Amino acid sequence: MPSRSKEPGVSGEYMAPPGRDLNHDPESASYEFSDELIGPSDIVLPSLTPVNVLFPTPTPAPTPRAAIVCEGDKVRYSDNGNKITAEGNVRVGYKNMEITADKITVYAARKEAYAEGNVTLTQGDNVIAADKIRYDFIKERGTVSPGSGFYSPWYGKAATLDAEGKEKVEFVDGVATTCDLDEPHYGLEASKITIYLDDKIIMHNVAVYVGSVPVFWVPYFQRSLKDSCRGSYLYPGYRSNWGFFLFAGYQWCAPGIVINPHIDYRYLRGFAYGLDGRFYIGDTGKGNWQTYYMQDEGYEGDDGEISTRERYLIEFNYRQNLIYRIQSSFSFNYLSDYNIRKDFFRSEYDSDSQPESYAYLSRRWGEVTLSLKFRPRLNDFYTVVEKLPEVKLQVQEFQLWDSDFYYQGSNSASNFKKKYGGEGSARYESFRFDTFHQVSYSRKFFGWLNIYPAVSLRGDFYSRGPGDPINYGSGVSAVDTSSPTPEPSPTPAPPDRRDFWRSVFSYSVGMSTDIYGIFPAENEWLEIYKLRHVITPSIDYYYTDNPSVYYTDIYQFDSIDKIKRANLFRLGFRNQLQTKRLYDGLESSWTLVDLILSTNLYAEPDRDNSGNLLGDLDTRFKVTPFPWLGFDLDLSYDVYDNQFKEDTLDLWIRPEDDWWVTFSHNYRRSKDRNRVSSELYLRINPVWAFKIYGRYDTVNDEFEEESFTIYRDLHCWSSYLSFQHREEEDEFSVYLALWVKAFSQVPLHLSN
C-alpha cells in the first residue's frame, strides 16, 4: 500500500483518506498522484482467498504511469480527496509540462486543473502567461482567456488562447511578433493564429503593423518553424542608371532544396523575374541555379541609343560523386548578351567575367587520374577555346620502388577549336595528342645539402598548323593574325601543316639547404616562446632544348603550345622567423616573418633575355605576428630600368568583430594601373556601426569607387543604409536593407 505519510515538504503517491482536511496545516505540502487516482470506491480489502505459498500466482508488473506533482505553501483536499486546492507559490508538474500560479485547484476524477493569479504554463521552451488557465491532463490541453505566449521564435497575445500539448497552440483575435519588447516594433494582427510546434505558423486575416501603424494586409500568411531559410524579403533603393528600385521575393526550402522566386522592379529598366535555387542529392551531390528574364526598357546599345531589348540569363552548376568513385561536375551558362551580368549581377561579374560551360568526369586510382571534359562555347560573344572533347590520363609523382627516384607523367588527347567573340565559326582548330614523362631524383647529401635533378620528354602530335587554311565557305579562314607575331623561327624545316609531331626535351637540377638557429627569446604580449630563424638558399638550373617545331608554327590553345627554349639559373633566398604557440591545446609552429627573394640568371642572355644577364627581382614578404594582424607584399622589380613592374600589397588589422581596417595597393606598369583601396568598419556602440570603403586610381587622379554604410540595430530588427558611387559607369546608388533577426538568412542571389 502506498505510503500515507504527509510530512511538510514530503512527496509521495497520494491515497486520500476520506474526510481529512489539511487546511489547518500552515506548512508547505507536496503531493503526487498517478493518472488513475484512487477514489473512495477504490478501497482495497484484505484478501480472503487461500494463498498457495508453494506455487504463488505470478503478479503482473505494474505499468509505469506518469505522475502529477502538486506543490504549494498551503495544500488542502476535499470531496473525498477528489478536489485538491493549493495556494501560494503553487507548482503543478505533469510529464514535460509545468504550471505555476498563485492558486490552483485540481479535480482528480476529471483530471483537470484551474489556475489563477500570475499563471504560467511551460512546455520545454514554450511558455504561456495569463491570469487564468484551465488545463486538461488527459488531453494535455490548456485554455487561456486572455493570455500571451512564447513559441520560439514567436511571441503572441490573444483574447483566447488554446494550447494542445506538444502539437499546436491557437490564438483567437491575437497578435504575433518575434520582438520581445512590451511595445514590439512590429506585429502581425490576425483573427486566428495557429502554431504547430516545431513545424509552422499559420495566420488568417493578417494586418502588418510597424509600431502602431498598419502598413499592409494579407488574407493568409504561413511560415515554417523548421527552417530559418523560409520567408519573404523587400529591398528598396536607388541607382542612377536604374532609378528607384524594389526587389521582392520569397525564399522557400524543404529537405534538400532551397527555392527563391523573385520580382525586381527598376524605374528606368522595368520589371525583371527570376527563379534561383540550390539543391542537394545524397551526401555528395549539390548544385545551384539562377535564372533571370526582363524586357530592358533602358538598354544602351553600342551606338549610345536607348531601346527596349529582351535580356535573360540561365546559369546551372552541379557536382556529384557517382558510382565507382567517379566524380562529376557540370556547368551551364547561357546569356543574352555580354553585359547582363555586369549590369545586374555585378559582384558575380567581378569574380568571374566570363563563366565557362563544361561537363567533366574523373576517376582516380591512387596516383592515377583519368578524366573526360567537354567545353563548348554557348555564347557567341565570348572568345573560347573549345574542347570537344579532352581526355586526360595524369600520373602524380610517386616513388619508384624503394629508391630515391620518382616518376610523374600525363597523356591527353584534345580536339581544340578557337572561336573568337562575334565570329560564328572557329578561326582555327586542331587535334592534339600530348604525352609528357619526367623522372626525378631527390636526396640529401652530407646531412645538409638537398639535390634534386630531373629529366623530362614531351611529345605532341598536331593534326593542323597555321599554314593549313580551313575552308568554311563564307566563314572566316585561318590567317596569319591567328597566331602571335612571328619571330625568326629556329625550326630547321617548316613541317607539313598537317599531321606533324613536335618533341621537347628538358632537364633541370636543383640544390638547397636549411640553416637555422634557435634563440631563447620570450615575450608574453607577442606570444613568443623561443624563436627559430631559418635561412634557405637555393639554386635551380633549367634547360629546355629548342622544340622540334617552334611555337610560332603551332596554333596556340594553352601553355603547352607556348613552350620555347630556356637556359637559365633560378636563384632563391628565403628567410623565416618562427615561434611555437598553443592552439586547441596542441603546440604548433607559427611563422612570424617570411621573406622570399628570387631572380633568373640567364646562361645565354643575348639569345634568351634581350641581352640582360638578370631577370626581374621577385619578392614575397609576409609578416603575421597574429592571425588578425599582418601584411602580405608581392612585387617584381626591373633591375635594369630601376622600376617596379608590378606589386600587390594587402594589410589587415582585425583584432575583434567591433572594428577592423584593411588597406590594399595594386600596381601594374604594363597596364598603366596604380590603385589603392581601404576599408574601415567601426561599431560605435551596441546599436550603431558604420563602414567606409574607397578605391582610388592614382594614374587618373580619381576615385573609382566609394561607399559608405550605416548599420543600425533595432533590437528585433537589423538594418543598414548604404551609399555607393562608381566612376567608371558614373553610377550612384542608395540601398536600404531591413530584416527580422529571427529570420536573417540572406536570399540566394542578391548581388546588386
**Residue 152 confidence class, pLDDT cut points 50, 70, 90:** confident
Closest C-alpha to 215, from 183, 185, 251: 185
Question: Of 69-78, 253-262, 317-326, 360-369, where does mean pLDDT reach its minimum?
Answer: 69-78
Q: Is the pLDDT of residue 258 over 80?
A: yes
Residue scoring higher pLDDT (195 or 733)? 733
Confidence of residue 45 (pLDDT cuts 50, 70, 90): very low
Q: Are residues 16 and 108 in the same domain?
A: yes
Q: Can you read off the three cell numbers belonging to residue 607?
A: 639569345
Q: How confident is the model at residue 97 (pLDDT cuts 50, 70, 90)?
A: confident
150 with 186, same domain: the answer is: yes
| 15 plus 74 within the same structural domain | yes
User: Quick check: 727 pLDDT over 50?
Assistant: yes
Q: For 691-712, write each residue's pLDDT tens digit.
A: 999 999 999 999 999 999 999 9
What is the arithmetic mean of pLDDT over 136-154?
A: 77
% residues pLDDT > 90 (the chain): 51
pLDDT for 665 beyond 90: yes
**188 in the same domain as 110:** no
Q: Give the residue from 133, 156, 173 where a domain finishes.
A: 133
Peptide bond into 146 cis (omega under 30): yes
Assigned domain for 84 exists: yes
What is the predicted pLDDT for the residue at 251? 82
The mean pLDDT value for 123-151 works out to: 79
Dist. CA 435–CA 394, nearest whole Å: 10
Whether the pLDDT of residue 469 is over 60: the answer is: no
Cell of 104: 490552483
The answer as to whether 265 is a domain residue is no
For residues 278-301, give the mean pLDDT.
Answer: 94
CA angle 4, 6, 7 (to 5 degrees): 140
Residue 202 falls inside a structural domain:
yes
Same domain, 128 and 161: no
Pairing state of beta strands 270-281 and 257-266? antiparallel
| β-sheet bridge partners, residue 576 | 534, 594
Tell whether the model's pLDDT for residue 454 goes beyond 70: yes
Instruction: Kindly report the length of the chain.
Output: 752
Name the range with the highest mean pLDDT among 64-73, 95-104, 685-694, 724-733: 685-694
Of the three residues 133, 158, 179, the one that is the final residue of a domain is 133
The pTM score is 0.74
pLDDT tier at 67 (50, 70, 90 boundaries)?
Answer: low
For residue 31, the model assigns a pLDDT of 43
Flag the least confident range among 286-290, 302-306, 687-691, 737-741: 737-741
- Give the confidence band of 532 by pLDDT, cuts at 50, 70, 90: very high
pLDDT given at position 8: 38
Instruction: Return the percentage of the chain with pLDDT > 70, whole number.
Output: 84
pLDDT at 470 over 80: no
Cβ count near 519 (within 10 Å): 11
Domain annotation covers residue 309:
no
Domain-embedded: residue 206? yes
What distances in angstroms separate CA 81 from CA 68, 77, 109, 590, 718, one per listed residue? 15, 5, 9, 74, 56
- Judgement on whether residues 81 and 168 belong to the same structural domain of the protein: no
| Domain assignment of residue 83, given as a range | 1-43+63-133
Residues with Cβ within 8 Å of residue 376, at least 6 apart in sequence: 357, 358, 386, 388
Task: Say which DSSP state 545 is in.
Answer: P
Number of neighbouring beta carbons within 10 Å of residue 71: 20
Per-residue model confidence (pLDDT) at position 32: 44
pLDDT at 696: 96
CATH of the domain at 106: 2.60.450
Whole-number Cα distances in Å, 683 to 4, 112, 578, 735 = 64, 53, 34, 20
Residue where a domain stops, chosen among 190, 211, 226: 226
Mean per-residue pLDDT, 652-661: 92
User: For residue 96, is it within any domain?
Assistant: yes
Burial category of 433 from C-beta neighbours within 10 Å (exposed 0-12, middle 13-18, buried 19 and up): middle
Rg (CA), the chain: 39
Give the mean pLDDT of the chain: 84
How high is the pLDDT of residue 737? 81
SS3 482: helix
Same domain, 109 and 85: yes
How far does Cα 457 stand from its chain's mean position? 43
Looking at the 3D structure of the chain, how many domains does it have?
Answer: 2
More confident residue, 575 or 41: 575
Residue 17: pLDDT over 50: no
What average pLDDT score do residues 512-526 get? 91
Least confident of 184-198, 372-386, 461-475, 695-709: 461-475
Say yes or no: 159 and 182 in one domain: yes
Q: Are 129 and 22 in a shared domain? A: yes
The identity of residue 418, as a single letter, is: K
Contact 533, 516 (CB under 8 A): yes
Residues 83 and 128 in one domain: yes
Nine cell digits for residue 54: 508453494
Q: Give residue 468's pLDDT band: very low, low, confident or very high (50, 70, 90).
A: low
Instruction: Look at residues 332, 323, 297, 290 and name the one whose alpha carbon lies nearest to residue 311.
Output: 297
Rounded to an integer, the average pLDDT of 226-237 is 73
At residue 284, the pLDDT reads: 92
Clarify whether residues 8 and 110 are in a common domain.
yes
* Per-position b or e across 226-245, b if 16+ CB within 10 A of its CB: ebebbbebebebbbebbeeb
Contact status, residue 497 vs residue 470, Cβ threshold 8 Å? no
Which pLDDT does position 85 carry in this prediction?
87
Residue 478 confidence (pLDDT) above 60: no
The single-letter code of the amino acid at 345 is F
Query: Do 238 and 232 touch, CB atoms closer than 8 A?
Result: no
Residue 414 and residue 477 in contact, taking contact as beta carbons nearer than 8 Å: no
Whether the per-residue pLDDT at 48 is higher than 60: the answer is no
- Verify that 156 and 216 share a domain, yes or no: yes
Contact 458, 432 (CB under 8 A): no
pLDDT value of residue 582:
78
Residue 415 domain-assigned? no
Q: Average pLDDT for residues 99-113, to the nearest whole number?
A: 85
Whether 314 is in a domain gets the answer no
Q: How far is CA 452 from CA 77, 217, 293, 509, 542, in A?
A: 94, 76, 57, 6, 12
Question: Which tens digits make up the pLDDT trace of 584-628?
Answer: 778 889 999 999 999 999 999 988 898 999 999 999 999 999 999
- Region 65-88: mean pLDDT is 79
Q: Of 213-222, 226-235, 468-477, which range is least confident?
A: 468-477
The amino acid that residue 140 corresponds to is E
Residue 641 has which C-alpha cell? Answer: 630600368
Residue 573 has pLDDT above 90, yes or no: yes
